[in-house]
Chains A and B, each alone.
Chain A
Amino acid sequence: MTDHKRVNGAVKRLLVRESRLSIDPDTVPDDEPLDGELLRVNSLGFLGMLVRLEDELDVTLDDDIFAGRVFTTVADVVDAVLDAAKETT
């Protein structure tokens, strides 16, 4: 099941961990920049994030899920995962 709330929660937990933060993921706004003052996420960290997302959400995400897309905010990642999940279910 890949409803928005579940994907949103999973993505924020991973982004907080990837940014090496010790904050409640639920406090991260949807429009928070991925590479800003709070979150610091780069694409080299995607392997760990993708395998964890696949396990947590029980979906298969394409290797190129992030290719050709512009990622600026948390919501961009959530949308990409939701789109990919739709295509693979």
Chain B
Amino acid sequence: MVTDVEHLLAVAGRAREQMPPPGDARYEQYCVALADRLTEAWPTVLTANAADVGRAAATGMGPALLDRLSLGDQHLRALLGLAERTRTALPAVTAPAAGHRAGNGTLVRRVPKPVGVALMIYEARPTVTVEGALLPVATGNVVVLRGGSEIAGTNQALGDAVDKALADAGLPAGAAQIVTDPDRKVVRALLRRHDAVDVLIPRGSPTLIDYCRTSSTIPVIASGGGVNHLYVDRSADLDLAARIALDSKLAEPTACNTLELVLAHAEVAGELVGRLVDAGDGSGEPWLLRVDPRLNASVPAGAAVAELAGTDDGREFLERSVGVRPIAGLDDAVQHIRRFGSGHTEGVVAADQGVVDAFVSRVDAAALVVNGSLRLHDGPTMGLGPELSISTGRLHVRGPVDLSALLTYSWVIDAAGTLRGGSEPA
């Protein structure tokens, strides 16, 4: 283990003490500086990324995964947009609340505070490095970023840009530290440091999330991946349901808020298969419909479909495919979702308001989408501003991990001399 974890966390601790309070003008300056430094460093970043991708290709990594590692100018544009949206969102997010007057006359209000030191552990996706160095720091937190070993060179180049942006904005060095040491002992050592790390934010594969959840006592903000369903009721507009299903998947097939399985009321499941095929043909994009064998007779002649296996329940396909399985009705949909869903995003398509109400009442997930695309479960799309990830946890934050989720608060009691005394009831 080359990385000195003690030193790394000591630097983080000192930075935490030196960070200005949320809302300080230096955080907006940091957003601007990070955009400038990324733009300046981008040729260097791309060179480092090409080397990382080349090494990954040499180990036999497939094209889809190489694509996830690769950076291009489109990624820079997206990151610059994120930095600007973060900057513009900061004043409202960090504004102190008005508070309320308590019965004893004191003014009770909350002022935002950073959560503290955040540890992000993630696999691949170099853009996460910038997202992690941006959103937490812009809200006053200190962050330690441990990315995948496949992109260590890219992360080093991005880290240089982050360091310069911190200096430009007058923020402490060490507010964002990037660990490029691939030794897993570093991960273990960090996960043991609940005394120095306030929140753990893993992003990646199921086993990584599980490991973080079960091997550390540091509070976790995690997305458990999205095994998401769409219940299509017999009262649904089936053309709409088909469009919703495809929109919920095809544009971003590996995103965590996409659709995996349509649970279709048995009375309309066969007809829905035809509508899905028609809608898919009309999209002009390659995709695959996975059909429950009980619906084979409903597959239009010549349509290329695959069989939906029993073991596909609970699967996140991570490809341009949608499954459809017939069920008896809402009760079965609820049971299926409870058993196989990941509590991320669940949707219903129904014209019957009673069915909608029952679905919303009985299904529990971070987001429930009614008669719309599951991909609407997204911080910016929901009007919540930039997001770091989508949480499937039940405490502190559920759904989009937006800037406000990276803040906690202190209660301020403006007492103006008020005393509690000993005789007043609590």
Residue tally, chain B, CB below 8 Å to A: 38
A63 touches B183 (CB 8 A): yes
A38 touches B210 (CB 8 A): no
Q: How far apart are the CA atoms of A52 and B187 in the complex, in Å?
A: 12
Q: Which residue of B lies closest to A19 (CB)?
A: B315
Complex contacts, B340 vs chain A, CB 8 Å: 22
Q: How far apart are the CA atoms of A42 and B318 in the complex, in Å?
A: 11
Q: Which residue of B lies closest to A66 (CB)?
A: B59
Q: How far apart are the CA atoms of A49 and B207 in the complex, in Å?
A: 6
B211 touches A51 (CB 8 A): yes
Q: Which residue of A lies closest to B121 (CB)?
A: A47
A42 touches B148 (CB 8 A): no
Q: How far apart are the CA atoms of A20 and B209 in the complex, in Å?
A: 12
Q: Which residue of B lies closest to A13 (CB)?
A: B207
Q: Which residue of A lies closest to B260 (CB)?
A: A20
B184 touches A50 (CB 8 A): yes
A37 touches B309 (CB 8 A): yes
Q: How far apart are the CA atoms of A40 and B339 in the complex, in Å?
A: 20
Cβ of B205 under 8 Å from chain A: yes
Cβ of B75 under 8 Å from chain A: no
Interface 1/0 per residue, A4-18 and B, CB below 8 Å: 000000000010011
B210 touches A17 (CB 8 A): yes
Complex contacts, B68 vs chain A, CB 8 Å: 44
Q: How far apart are the CA atoms of A24 and B385 in the complex, in Å?
A: 41
> Which of A17, A23, A43 has the most chain B CB within a 10 Å cutoff?
A43
Complex contacts, A1 vs chain B, CB 8 Å: none
- Chain A interface size band reads 20 to 34
What's the minimum C-beta distance from A61 to chain B, rounded to whole angstroms? 8
Cβ of B215 under 8 Å from chain A: yes
Interface 1/0 per residue, B202-214 and A, CB below 8 Å: 0011111111000
Asked if A17 meets B314 with Cβ closer than 8 Å, knowing A47-B123, A51-B187, the reply is no
What's the minimum C-beta distance from B322 to chain A, rounded to whole angstroms? 16
Cβ of B52 under 8 Å from chain A: no
Complex contacts, B150 vs chain A, CB 8 Å: 44
B61 touches A43 (CB 8 A): yes
Asked if A54 meets B225 with Cβ closer than 8 Å, knowing A40-B318, A44-B148, the reply is no
Q: Contacting B207 at CB < 8 Å: which of A17, A21, A67?
A: A17
Q: Contacting A14 at CB < 8 Å: which of B123, B207, B315, B318?
A: B207
Q: Contacting A42 at CB < 8 Å: which of B65, B182, B215?
A: B65
Q: How far apart are the CA atoms of A18 and B207 in the complex, in Å?
A: 6
Cβ of B74 under 8 Å from chain A: no
Q: Which residue of A lies closest to B188 (CB)?
A: A51
Asked if A44 meets B124 with Cβ closer than 8 Å, knowing A54-B184, A70-B60, the reply is yes
B184 touches A20 (CB 8 A): no
Complex contacts, A55 vs chain B, CB 8 Å: 215
Q: How far apart are the CA atoms of A2 and B316 in the complex, in Å?
A: 31
Cβ of B62 under 8 Å from chain A: yes
B314 touches A47 (CB 8 A): no
What's the minimum C-beta distance from A40 to chain B, rounded to whole angstroms? 7
Interface 1/0 per residue, B194-226 and A, CB below 8 Å: 000000000011111111000100000000010
Q: How far apart are the CA atoms of A18 and B124 in the complex, in Å?
A: 16
Cβ of B313 under 8 Å from chain A: yes
Cβ of B149 under 8 Å from chain A: yes
Asked if A52 meets B211 with Cβ closer than 8 Å, knowing A42-B65, A47-B123, A47-B184, the reply is yes
Q: Which residue of B lies closest to A61 (CB)?
A: B184
Cβ of A29 under 8 Å from chain B: no
> Which of A14, A38, A47, A67 has the most chain B CB within a 10 Å cutoff?
A47
**Further contacts, 4 of them, CB under 8 A, given A40-B317, A47-B205, A48-B210:** A43-B61, A45-B208, A47-B121, A49-B205
Residues of A within 8 A of B (CB): 14, 17-23, 37-38, 40, 42-45, 47-52, 54-55, 63, 66-68, 70
CB<8 Å pairs between A and B, sample of 14: A18-B206, A19-B315, A20-B227, A20-B314, A20-B315, A21-B314, A22-B313, A47-B148, A48-B123, A48-B206, A48-B207, A51-B188, A51-B211, A63-B183
